[in-house]
Amino acid sequence: MQAKDFSDSCARIRDAFIQSFQDAQFVNFGVKPLVPEADQSVIFVGASISAFKPFLTNQLVFNQKFDNMVLVQPCLRLHNLNNLLKTPVLQYYSYFNMLGALCQPSAEKLTIDALVRFVGQIMTKGIIRASRQETPYYSIFNNAFSIELDTRPPEYYSWIFGTKEYIGKGVTLALSNHNKNFWQFSVKDISKPGAAALPENFGTGFQDVGNLIRLYDHSGRHIASEIGLGIETIHQAQSNCASQVESYAYKSILEKVCSNASDHFVDSAVTSTIIVQAGVRDENSKRGQLLNKAVRNTVYTGLIEGMNLDQITRSTDTLNQFLGGSPSNAEDVRKIVEKQYYAAIKNITNLGRVLSSPPSSGRDEHSRKKLVKKVMNLADGEYYIPDVVRDHLLSQKGLVDPSQNGATPYRPLDRLFQFIQSNPAPIMC
C-alpha cells in the first residue's frame, strides 16, 4: 500500500462519516486529542467513547441535555505496546483512529440512516451482527442491513464504560472483505462451552469494523446511543487485506530508509512518534514511562533487524513527517532514541561479555546465573533489557528454558544474540 493511497483512503472514510452525520444535524466536534483533556484516569485514549465520558460523568446524558455529536478520536492499544516483543505476528498496529457519534434515543433512527448513507458513500456492503439474548432490539436494522444472529458469544455485545452508572448493549457493523484469510476472531474463543455453533461461512466475507451501542442506566432506561468505528479497520476491509498491518502504508514510507523494517519496528516507531506529537515529555510520568517503553521497543527491534542509529532516527523522522508532526517533534523523538540506543548498546554488550566469559574460579553455576541476572536486571531504567530478550539470551546459554516460564521467544532474536557475540567489549556512554 503506497503512502498517498493509504492517506487518501483514510481521509475519504473520515470525511464521508463526518458528512453523513452532519447531514443528520449532528454537531461536528472535530479531532479529539490522544491525551484526554479532562480525565487524568486515562493515560491514552483507547476508544471513541472516552471523548464522550465528560457527558456521562456530568449527568448530561442521563438528563438528555446534550447535542447529537460526531468526532474523530486518535487511539492507542496499550496491550500492543506492553506485549510487542512477545507477539510473533502483529495483526494490528498500536496507533489507530476511531469515528465516533453520540445521540439521544429520539435520534437513533437518524443515526441508522446516517450509517446507511456512510456505508453507501464508501461503496461497500455491510451487515449487522447481533445477539438475540443481549440485543433483542436488532430488528430496528431490518430495513437497513442484513442481520446475522448469534455468531459471537453473548458477552461480545456488552460494554462497561468505566463508570458505574451505565452499561452498554450493542450490535456490530461488519463490512465486506473478500480476502478469505483475513484475521477476525479467535475460533478458540468463540467455541467456548455454551457458545453458539459456528456457521459455515464464519470468518469469511464480512469483517467487524465497529459497534452501535445503546447506553442504559441501572433502571434499564435507554439514555443514549453511541457509534464507534475504526478508520483503519474499514480501510482494511475496503482493501481486501488479511490484516490491518498489511493494509497500512508505513512500510512503504520507510523503504528508502530501511528496506528490512519489521512490523514490530514500524509499530514501535509510529507509537513513539505519536506519543511525542501528543505533547508527552516528562519521563517520570506514567505517559512518559510508556513513551520510553515505546522508544526502547523501537531501538531493540531496530537492532534485531540489523539497523544502526542513523537508520532508526531517519525512520522516526520520516514517520513524523508523514503523520503531520513538526520539526521540533522529530528532534524530540531523535534525542530520546539516541539516549535509549546508547543505553541498549551498553547493556547488551555488557551482557554479552558476561555470557561469553567462563565462570571464575570457585564460582559455581548457580552463582554465575545470579551474576547474569544481576547484570540484566539493574533497577535503573537506563539499564533496561526486555524480559523476552533476557529469557532468550539465557536460553541460548542453557541457563533458562523459556517454555517453563511462559515466555514466547521472538524469532529474530537470534540476530540480536549474534550482535552481542560480535561486540564482546562493553561500550561506555
Question: Tell me, what's the pLDDT at 381?
Answer: 33
Residue pair 94/270 in contact by the 8 Å Cβ criterion: yes
**Side-chain-facing half-sphere of 125: CA atoms under 13 Å:** 8
Question: Tell me, what's the pLDDT at 210?
Answer: 95
Alpha-carbon span 299 to 271, nearest angstrom: 13
* C-alpha distances in Å from residue 51, one per residue of 18, 211, 226: 16, 16, 11
* Helix segments in 325-364, DSSP class H: 327-356
Is the alpha carbon torsion for 230, 235, 236, 240 positive or negative? positive
Residue pair 231/54 in contact by the 8 Å Cβ criterion: no
Domain covering 3-247: architecture: 2-Layer Sandwich (3.30)
> Could you give the 3-state DSSP secondary structure of residue 284?
coil
Alpha-carbon span 195 to 45, nearest angstrom: 31
User: Phi/psi zone of residue 344: left (φ > 0), alpha (ψ -120 to 50 degrees), beta?
Assistant: alpha
What is the secondary structure of 298-329 as a DSSP string?
HHHHHHHTT--HHHHHHHHHHHHHHTT--HHH
Question: Tell me, what's the pLDDT at 182?
Answer: 66
Question: Tell me, what's the pLDDT at 411?
Answer: 39
| Mean pLDDT, 10 residues at a time, the chain of 429 residues | 77 96 95 86 90 74 77 93 78 93 93 94 90 90 90 88 80 89 47 41 73 91 93 92 85 83 91 96 87 90 84 96 95 95 75 58 53 43 47 51 41 49 41
Q: 7 burial class (0-12, 13-18, 19+ CB within 10 angstroms)?
A: middle
Most distant CA pair in the chain: distance in Å?
A: 81
Alpha-carbon span 210 to 157, nearest angstrom: 11
* C-alpha distances in Å from residue 375, one per residue of 173, 349, 354, 389: 51, 11, 8, 13
Residue pair 311/254 in contact by the 8 Å Cβ criterion: no
* C-alpha distances in Å from residue 302, one per residue of 163, 258, 293, 306: 40, 10, 14, 6
Which residue, among 363, 26, 44, 360, has the nearest Cα to 225 in the 3D structure?
26
Ramachandran angles phi, psi of 100, nearest 5°: -125, 150
Question: Tell me, what's the pLDDT at 277?
Answer: 96
Question: Where exactly are the structural domains of the chain?
Answer: 3-247, 256-422
* C-alpha distances in Å from residue 314, one per residue of 194, 266, 290, 298: 52, 12, 22, 12
The C-alpha cell 435520534 sits at: 107
User: What pTM value is reported for the model?
Assistant: 0.80
Hey, what's the cell of 24?
443528520
Question: Tell me, what's the pLDDT at 211?
Answer: 96
Residue pair 72/51 in contact by the 8 Å Cβ criterion: no
Q: Name the β-bridge partners of 210.
A: 173, 229
Question: Tell me, what's the pLDDT at 198?
Answer: 41
Alpha-carbon span 12 to 269, nearest angstrom: 25
* C-alpha distances in Å from residue 90, one per residue of 78, 94, 246: 14, 10, 10
End-to-end CA gap in the chain: 40
